[in-house]
Structure 1
Amino acid sequence: PVTPKPAEGAKERLFAHPGRPAARAAGGERQLTPGDYTPAADDLPRFDSGSYVARPLRRGARIIGGTILGRIGARTRTKASSLRFEVRPAGRRMPRIDPKPILDGWKLLESTAVYRAEGKNPFFGEDAETPSVGQILLMSKEALAERVVNNPRIEIYGCGRRDIQTGQIDRRVLATLEFLAASGLKPTVTSLKCGHSYLTASGNVSEHSTGTAVDIAAINGVPILGHQGAGSIAELTIQRLRTLQGTMEPHQIISLMTFEDADNTFAMSDHADHIHVGFRPLYGANAKTAKQVDAILEPEQWIKLIDRLEEIDNPTVSRKPSRYAIDAGRRASRAHKGE
């Protein structure tokens, strides 16, 4: 297809994924040319001149994805052309690091299809419409927030939606709501952070105040009030919540019921009309502690980590069953071609 030539002076661009339909139509087709592609300065895709404001490049500037920042110089007899690419981890005083070991790991995960069926992408396009429960739990906070507020299977009161849209709700809470909806349980949310008191009825600081708790007043349109006990919709929901493990395991699941083999279910008389699901805050209100947790690694630790990752060879992962594999007798899914 012939792409209309944009006005002279428009900003040049390249596509990270030129094969995607929109990218291909906007000029990415040229990047898919077989063989060594060396784009000429006058043959590059360009941004629509009305979609950006041109400003001089400066340190700390935010740029549009795909922007060409520079070109590698010509090779000489004594010096090869090269590019030094570094990234700076989030946090204060963080060093610049070589991202290659991290990128190599991502490429390995992509090639082995660990988190998806072969040929499928759970985070983009048509395949993203029906992610598995496992894929939901791996999503970022931003992706989960977008899904939760637009999920017709999750009913949320007005200012609770604003809590989510403004980033005040913990990722684990968002993942839990999506987890329930994907499990066939449609939650009605009546309390997140907005509208809940700072203290609980017993005088303790509420987990709602940190955005790490949610109150659910109905499931599949059936109110929790009057529907607790053995065989009830509340019991079914709590049993499903109890399957969450690791960092996704709730710190508290409060209703009128307790379970003998669980240390995170509690019965409280003021929870007759809702199920409270809470998580421990990742850090308290102490600003100093918060900064320490956010940093995760000290500057010198980043250097040591990257050096160590560079020493570890990525494994060679076979796409065929090993000689120790046990024949399952039948394929578990048509989507997994390697089975």
Structure 2
Amino acid sequence: MKWPVLSLIVFVLLGCTNNTVEHVKQPDSVVRYQDDSKDPTRFSNLYPGKKTYPKTCTENCYRPSKLVACKTPAENCRFIGQQTPPDLNTGFAIRWLGHASFYIENPDGTSLLFDPVSEQFDWPVNWAFRLSEGFNRRPGAWPTKSEITNTDAVLYSHIHYDHFNKDDIAQVGSKAEYFVPLGFAEHFPQDGYRINEMTWFSSKSLGDLNIHFVPAHHFSSRIWVPYLYEDNNAALWGGWVIEHRGQRLFFAGDTGYSKHFSDIQQRYGDMDVCLMPIASYFHEQNGDWYRYVHTTPEDSLLAAKELNCKVMIPWGYGNASWKMGDHSTHSALLRLLNMHQEMKSEIPLHILNEGEAVVL
């Protein structure tokens, strides 16, 4: 066998080119490690420990709303209210794909994907969880093939299966640039991807955009067998601030309520658009833990106030999501609408159904 033929066979068998990984940090970037871990590389939240919450809904949290039409109580719902989006003149076009996934078209002509997960969890976890009630979803409102292949950058908040799916990396391909938390790149297949691993409060430019990686109050893990975890907190987690000529879009990622929201505002200033999670905060047996790492609707409203958001777009509810720790797929939206009124929140809401878009 001639060497060129053998080389081609080896190339095909071993795959394509190696990934390019850049570790992005600045002198004032921040990272925190667990104090009590035997492994010094396990990450920690900025503000660990027991939490107190300024506001908690305790009764009539899920009252029906004339703004939400449901086929069954609190499920199979759509938002039907009339809305006039605030005229912020930011130039950000925001499309909610379902759960935590967003497609963003920016004023400079670039496009971004946040936490793209088109269908289910990665194999083999998806197969295993088919036996568990609530761990399958309807497909999200996936962008067109042209939009996917021409995406300029993909940003991931953390490595949990409902936010990071390797099948979707293959769809996007290596043309896009990837922005991920520290310790994340090892989860990518070796296929020529350009990956920026970032610490909290680090920044990198993309065209006319400044991309800032910011803290969240959460955790990270991947599992091979249900309830058998590996890589606990070996990769960082966080959110993103996208800045274009002084106007800012904030994506919180999965997070509980903590002082990090105030830190972000102090570091970067007021946020124009805030994409905030409002679901997966409730579990009958583990309620305290779920809320520790996932904001309730009222927590998100308080965080939006601390960020001085000019408009808040919620996510995490919906018909293209999983029933992950919440009463149902839509009760979080009902709770948000009720608490927005009860708290007399001055933060404008703009509610999207999956696949809908708004230009702000």
Same topology, TM > 0.5:
no
Q: Which has the larger radius of gyration?
A: 1
Q: TM-score, normalised by structure 1?
A: 0.21
Q: Which has the higher helix share?
A: 1
Q: TM-score, normalised by structure 2?
A: 0.20
Structure with the greater relative contact order (CA < 8 A, sep ≥ 6): 1 or 2?
2
